[in-house]
Amino acid sequence: MYSFYGTWPWYISGFLIGAVMLTLIFFGKSFGMSSNLRTLCTMAGAGKNVDFFKFDWREQKWNLAVVFGAILGGFFAVHFLSDGSGVQLNPKTIEQLAAMHIEAPNGKLGPDTLFSWEALQNPKMLAILFFGGLLIGFGTRYAGGCTSGHAITGLSNLQKPSLIAVIGFFIGGLVMAHFILPLIF
Amino acid sequence: MKFFNLIKFVLVGFVFGIVLTKAEAVSWYRIYEMFHFQSFHMFGIIGVAVVTGVVGVQAIKRNNLKDIKGLPIVITDKERGFVRYVVGGILFGLGWALVGSCPGPIFILLGAGFYGIIIVLAGALLGTYLYGVFKDKLPH
């Protein structure tokens, strides 16, 4: 049922993500992707006006190296490890999406409605993408972490704050997916 | 020497990028499906990752394992708090379900060739900056 070039099974994927986190701990670091957004702000000079960004970004070079690798990994997986058979959704999901004028994946990871060049010429889609990014950037820094820092690293270390944050992630996600997405699409 | 030191982190990132792409955790569709409870896939991924993590972290703590440089491994606890985790968490969750990507996948999708993600990245950088500006005025 599973193939190497199709969707990887959840039990292998989940194990490998846990292994990535443990490898970074073994390297003396911690797994957290949203911190890189702060580092990028600092590199762009945000530390001149705002104390939160006053730190030596070179200490975070290792995490930027992880980001660089992740970008390469995304490229490699799409171009060399995919046969277009992935993203087999629940037929009910596809039906719901059609009602919102979002096309079925047909092996694509993201809908053209949102991510294609044509979508970028549509002010509404641009606004959605930008506003979504704004929520992600502000929310992760306010909560002190994202899926990697709280859901994976924090829960693995049995941290109560991370559990609260993850419950928050799901409250926000459920509200968006059930009540707001049908209104905007 | 410095260069080789960074290479191992690039490799970890490379594996991370491949796994998240092949697991389709970077897929807007999968995130939508997850929040509608129409597939076990994403819950399975997060669940197995956490179980693997708990076992690994407990093994490190109980055996006082050392890191690659031979130093004791210290995993710092998260700061206590409530408001920041709930409110920040909800705001992030809204964005996660809207554009279907969390911070890691934003970078991975850049490599995967989803151009629209550049706009998400720009928004995320501005959002991070705004948090820095208003940090001291926000309840934590």
Question: Over the stretch B30-80, which tens digit does the pLDDT of each residue have?
Answer: 999 999 999 999 999 999 999 999 999 999 999 999 999 999 999 999 999
| Domain locations along chain B | 2-39+77-137
Question: SS3 breakdown of chain B: % helix, strand, coil, rounded to 5?
Answer: 70, 0, 30
Question: Over the stretch A16-67, which tens digit does the pLDDT of each residue have?
Answer: 999 999 999 999 999 999 999 999 999 999 999 999 999 999 999 999 999 9
- Please tell me if residue B47 touches chain A, with a CB cutoff of 8 Å: yes
CB contact under 8 A, B99 and A153: no
Question: Over the stretch A117-128, which tens digit does the pLDDT of each residue have?
Answer: 999 999 999 999
Q: What is the pLDDT of residue A3?
A: 87
Cα(A139)–Cα(A152) distance, integer angstroms: 17
- Please tell me if residue B135 touches chain A, with a CB cutoff of 8 Å: yes
Closest to A147 (Cα-Cα) out of A66, A64, A37, A32: A32
The sign of the dihedral angle between the CA atoms of A125, B41, A78, B52 is positive
Question: Over the stretch B9-29, which tens digit does the pLDDT of each residue have?
Answer: 999 999 999 999 999 999 999
* Confidence grade of residue B1 (pLDDT, cut at 50, 70, 90): low
Cα(A169)–Cα(B90) distance, integer angstroms: 5
Q: What is the pLDDT of residue A101?
A: 95
CB contact under 8 A, B125 and A137: yes
- Please tell me if residue B6 touches chain A, with a CB cutoff of 8 Å: yes
> B78 is written with which tokens?
């998260």
Contacts of A39 (CB under 8 A, 6+ apart): A57, A60, A63, A64
Question: How far is the alpha carbon of B42 from chain A, nearest alpha carbon, in Å?
Answer: 7
Rounded to 5 degrees, what angle do the CA atoms B40, B46, B50 make? 135
Question: Over the stretch A108-157, which tens digit does the pLDDT of each residue have?
Answer: 999 999 999 999 999 999 999 999 999 999 999 999 999 999 999 999 99
Say yes or no to pLDDT of A68 above 70: yes
Q: What is the pLDDT of residue B52?
A: 98
Tell me which of A108, A115, A120 to substitute to probe the interface with B (most B C-beta atoms closer than 10 Å).
Answer: A115
Q: Is the reported ipTM for this assembly greater than 0.90?
A: yes
- Please tell me if residue B137 touches chain A, with a CB cutoff of 8 Å: no
Kindly report whether the global pTM for this prediction surpasses the value 0.90: yes
Contacts of A175 (CB under 8 A, 6+ apart): B90, B93, B94
Mean pLDDT of chain A: 96
Higher pLDDT, B3 or A34: A34
Kindly provide the residue ranges of all beta strands, DSSP E only, lying in B13-123, ordered along the sequence: none
CB contact under 8 A, B115 and A138: no
Contacts of B103 in chain A (CB under 8 A): 33-34, 36-37, 136, 140, 146-148
Say yes or no to pLDDT of B85 above 80: yes
Q: Dihedral angle at the C-alpha atoms of B9, B44, B35, A160, nearest 10 degrees? A: -70
CB contact under 8 A, A78 and B73: no
Q: What is the pLDDT of residue A35?
A: 97
Question: Over the stretch B66-79, which tens digit does the pLDDT of each residue have?
Answer: 999 999 999 999 99
- Report chain B's C-alpha Rg in angstroms: 18
Cα(A151)–Cα(A131) distance, integer angstroms: 23
Question: How far is the alpha carbon of B58 from chain A, nearest alpha carbon, in Å?
Answer: 8
- Please tell me if residue B83 touches chain A, with a CB cutoff of 8 Å: no
Q: Select the residue of B18, B60, B95 nearest A139 (Cβ to Cβ).
A: B95
Q: What is the pLDDT of residue A168?
A: 98
Query: Minimal Cα distance from A34: which residue of B?
Result: B103
